[in-house]
Chain A
Amino acid sequence: MSKQWPLWEIFIRSQHGLSHKHVGSLHATDAEMAVCNARDVYTRRNEGVSIWVVRANDITASSPGDKEAIFEPSNNKVYRHPTFFPMPDEVGNL
């Protein structure tokens, strides 16, 4: 049984962004403390307006060894890209 506080991954959304970006990790005893610590450690230079914290244990990642099988097939299927449609002006910034 480790005496180390659990590890949390921290995601911050900046004022000008739409999504939270992963900025790093830290240790804390619980979620509230993790948010406070994230505020102290990762927002010193006004990096963001919103903080998400996730226990590192709760994150499941794809295995680097499976890179080929998972990502290679989509490499040369250009017909899946939505770039052949002429966009009418009325649609705006779609």
Chain B
Amino acid sequence: MNNTKFEYLLRLADSTLILSQRLTELCGKGPALEEDMALANVALDLIGQARFWYDYAGALEGAGRTEDQLAFLRDAHEFHNFLLVEQPNGNYADTVARQFYFDSWHCLFLEQLRNSTDQEIAAIANKALKEVRYHLRRSKDLVVRLGDGTEYSHRLMQAALNDLWMFTGEMFQADALDLAMQREGVAPDLSVVRKEWMHFVSETLVEAKLTLPSQHDWMQSGGKQGVHSEKLGYILAEMQYLPRAYPGAVW
């Protein structure tokens, strides 16, 4: 049972870590100075959360793996992040759409995770929620501004939401591990989260004068199970280069 929870924690840690890494690619390249700082702040928040998840996972595994070893010494097929977070930054609408889809899931998910029967998980979720509420405020605000903006921003925002739609399903697809965690009271019922998410996203898109992509589209999956696109390979190559080239390096 411990192994199951260990892998479950890795899913949370990996998603926050990889998304953080993607956002960090934009450091110094944001569309405005204030946006640049905001993105960096979000990235830092996410990496802080990843550290909590990795720390607990390492302790549970009991093999002495530290957060650094878990983050930097696993290969792509051992990562369990959502496919959504490894998608490229693209133009700014792509970045905003990805962030919005993830933040809305993250916020609603953490609100449920606070009630986990696992005290440690509940505590981490509680702390993370404060940060994620702000992340969602930001990304929702940007979706509305860009959607209900100029013809150009509207067009790009709609295209971004359409392109990333097929990666959203994975966040709510409960596989054997999700169900096992749910049975133990550790994790929430993803169908409940999905209902709230659909409601929230639909409302936001109406406000943004955008169209919700079709609910009946086929959804990509595999990220949670370690089946990734080639994009993750490049992200890890950049992220893991230093510890792998200089094993045991310290600041």
Contact = CB atoms under 8 A, between A and B. Distances in A.
B138 A41 contact: no
Given A36-B138, A36-B141, A28 B34 contact: yes
Contacts of B37: 40-41, 44
Q: Which of B34, B41, B137, B138 has the most CB of A within 10 A?
A: B34
Interface in A37-55: 37, 40-41, 44
B138 A5 contact: no
Contacts of B33: 26-27, 41
Interface in B11-37: 32-34, 37
Interface size classification for chain B: 10 to 19
B38 interface: yes
Interface size classification for chain A: 10 to 19
Nearest to A42: B37
A8 to B, nearest CB: 10
A41 B145 CA distance: 20
Contacts of B141: 32-33, 36
A40 B41 contact: yes
Contacts of B41: 40, 44
A55 B219 CA distance: 46
Interface in B181-233: none
Contact of B32 (A5, A32, A36, A44): A5
A29 B146 CA distance: 12
Nearest to A38: B34
A37 B145 CA distance: 15
A62 B37 CA distance: 33
A44 B42 CA distance: 11
B148 to A, nearest CB: 12
Q: Which of B37, B137, B138 has the most CB of A within 10 A?
A: B37
Contacts of A44: 37, 41
A37 B41 CA distance: 11
A41 B30 CA distance: 14
Nearest to B42: A40
A27 B31 CA distance: 12
Contact of A27 (B34, B38, B137, B138): B34
Nearest to B41: A40
A10 B34 CA distance: 13
A28 B33 CA distance: 10
Contacts of A5: 32
A25 to B, nearest CB: 11
Nearest to B40: A40
Interface string B138-157: 10010001000000000000
Contacts of B138: 36
Interface of A: 5, 26-29, 32-33, 36-37, 40-41, 44
10 contacts: A5-B32, A26-B33, A28-B34, A29-B145, A32-B141, A33-B145, A36-B141, A40-B38, A44-B37, A44-B41
Counting from the closest, the 3 A-B pairs by CB-CB distance are A37-B34, A40-B38, A41-B37
Given A33-B145, A44-B41, 5 more contacts: A29-B145, A32-B141, A37-B34, A40-B37, A41-B33
